[in-house]
Structure 1
Amino acid sequence: MFRSLILSACLIGVVLGLLVTAVQAVGVTPILLNAEQFEGAGEPAAHEHSGGEQAAHHHHEEAAGGHHHGDDAWAPEDGAERTFYTTVSNIFAGIGFSAVLLVVMSQLRERGKMMLSPSRGLLIGALGFLAVFVAPSLGLPPEVPGSAAAPLEARQLWWVFTVLMVVAGLGLVGLARGWMKLAGIPLLAIPYLFVPAHEGPLFSHPDPQAVAALTELHQQFIWATGVTNLVFWLLAGVLSAIALKRLYKASADQYDEATA
């Protein structure tokens, strides 16, 4: 069963990676390329890049993390090379998150908490979207290149902490009984007590027109990454539920044949 779960996660990850890359090529990548034209102006040395091309970003990614680099740091060339590395990273993200969903759904099914169906898969996928993208984005929205932000390490730690707290909170609210359900509510709010915020303007570009353009691109980027992550998580939930249902059916058929 474990081998089948891993294989299913890999197959689902490939499908998710290819689809998300196609969605990003339409909605996310053009925004990033436009924002990169303004990046670095007026800054002496280092720049902050967004990793918004997922997931899955991010969120958080995410699917909406980032990476810090200097002027001499390697980066893939625009075009085929960039698309290739984006596709590979999306596939690995798809495999990892699909494996998590498969394990969660399997455990819920074993404990009689969940029936395996596409609609239940949509629900689990929506909860994953809330925990991994929406919750972190409420504190740290996805950033376009050229954005000013708090130190990367602080944001990464906060992202991980937020996802863990939200997952635990949603789990208690949805699965616990009695007063234990109420214990999940504070967990949903705790991360927002100490968001690693940046002090000062979001964009330090010296040209007001460029700042206005970047601000508009930033808003578009938030919506584009949100839609991309929503597609990713809903499809991941549905495919995971379908795959897991078939695995259990195949296992039951093999058991019947062995005992016949």
Structure 2
Amino acid sequence: MFRSLIFGACVVGVVTGLLLTAVQALGVTPTLLAAEQLETYESSAEVAHAHHGHTHGEGEGHYHDGSAWAPEDGVERWLFTALSNVLAAVGFSAILLVIMNQLYVRDRLRLTPAHGLFIGLCAYFAVFVAPAIGLPPEIPGTASAGLMSRQLWWLVSVLSVATGLGVLCLARGKIKALALPLMGLPYVFVPIHNGPLFDHPDATAIASLTVLHRDFIWVSAMTNLFFWLSVGVLCAVVLQRLYKNNQSHHERATA
């Protein structure tokens, strides 16, 4: 069964990862490219500023490493985006398949598309909505807290909220009372950045980045919703097919 689950995760991951890439091309990617253009302008202005003999003091401004590798726009960028989406989708699909399989074995879940939608919606809330309440998605050029602290907070947030949802949906009796404290625990401390959201020399660019940032949050939310609902439904369908095939093989063996 383990091998079948891994194979199923690969199938679901490839399908949903490619679908996610296609949907991102409609809203997420154009927003990111527009923000990167403004960030490139800022970087060029800083380089020109430095060439005129001015340097930032310690703790002021920020540095863009022009030598850092990044995929070229166009086909190369699309391929790397698709690859990262597929790999992430395979991992998430494997986790959902294992959880849904355990729930089915314990008679706590039916393998139907509707139940798959519900599981996908719970995953969407735990992995995207809950972390986004504390740390919304960011476009290039956004000032933010340290990367390590944000990554650690995201992990704690996802685990805490997912556990709280599990307690709320599966626990019985007084144990359900632990659900809300668990889901609220990550917000006791959120590593937010104190200061302006954008450090840009042009006020017009800041206004444009603010609009792009707001749009990026919404398109990211809709894109992730589509992704997680698709993963939930396909995982339910794959598990249903796996159990039907196993039942057919068992009937043939005992015939």
Mark yes or no: TM-score above 0.5: yes
Are positions 1:23 and 2:60 aligned together? Answer: no
Q: Which has the higher contact order (CA 8 A, sep 6+)?
A: 2
Q: Which residue of 1 aligns with 2:56?
A: none
Are positions 1:117 and 2:99 aligned together? Answer: no
Which one-letter code corresponds to 2:199 in the other structure?
S
- Tell me which of 158, 162, 166 is aligned to 2:161: 166
Which one-letter code corresponds to 1:224 in the other structure?
V
Q: Which residue of 1 aligns with 2:205?
A: 210
Which one-letter code corresponds to 1:3 in the other structure?
R
Name the CA distance, whole Å, in 2 between partners of 1:45 and 1:78.
24
Q: Which residue of 2 aligns with 1:73?
A: 68
Name the CA distance, whole Å, in 2 between partners of 1:140 and 1:104.
27
Which one-letter code corresponds to 1:108 in the other structure?
L
Please show how residues 171-250 of structure 1 align to structure 2 within 5 Å. 171-250=166-245
Question: Against the structure 1 CA distance between its residues 178 and 26, is the aligned structure 2 distance closer, same or farther, given a 3 Å change threshold?
Answer: same
Name the CA distance, whole Å, in 2 between partners of 1:180 and 1:124.
21
Which one-letter code corresponds to 2:28 in the other structure?
V
Which one-letter code corresponds to 1:10 in the other structure?
C
Are positions 1:46 and 2:63 aligned together? Answer: yes
Are positions 1:128 and 2:128 aligned together? Answer: no
SS in structure 2 opposite 1:75?
coil
Which one-letter code corresponds to 2:251 in the other structure?
D
CA distances 1:21-56 after superposition (whole Å, capped 9, x unpaired)? 110111100000000111151656535xxxxxxxxx
Kindly indicate which of the two structures has a greater share of residues assigned to helix: 2
CA shift for structure 1 position 71: 2.6
Whether the aligned pair in 2 keeps the contact of 1:142 and 1:222 (CA below 8 Å) is yes
Moved over 6 A (4+): none
Name the CA distance, whole Å, in 2 between partners of 1:187 and 1:165.
6
Are positions 1:251 and 2:249 aligned together? Answer: no
Unmatched segments (≥5 aa) in structure 1: 48-69
Name the CA distance, whole Å, in 2 between partners of 1:73 and 1:45.
15
Name the CA distance, whole Å, in 1 between partners of 2:188 and 2:13.
34
Name the CA distance, whole Å, in 1 between partners of 2:241 and 2:79.
32
Q: Which residue of 2 aligns with 1:33?
A: 33
Are positions 1:138 and 2:133 aligned together? Answer: yes
Name the CA distance, whole Å, in 1 between partners of 2:72 and 2:109.
45
- Which has the higher Rg, Structure 1 or Structure 2? 2
CA shift for structure 1 position 100: 0.6
Name the CA distance, whole Å, in 2 between partners of 1:217 and 1:191.
27
- Tell me which of 69, 74, 87 is aligned to 1:92: 87
TM score, norm. by length of structure 2: 0.91
Whether the aligned pair in 2 keeps the contact of 1:158 and 1:191 (CA below 8 Å) is yes
Name the CA distance, whole Å, in 2 between partners of 1:221 and 1:100.
27
Identity between Structure 1 and Structure 2 (%): 57
Unmatched segments (≥5 aa) in structure 2: 47-60
Whether the aligned pair in 2 keeps the contact of 1:45 and 1:71 (CA below 8 Å) is no
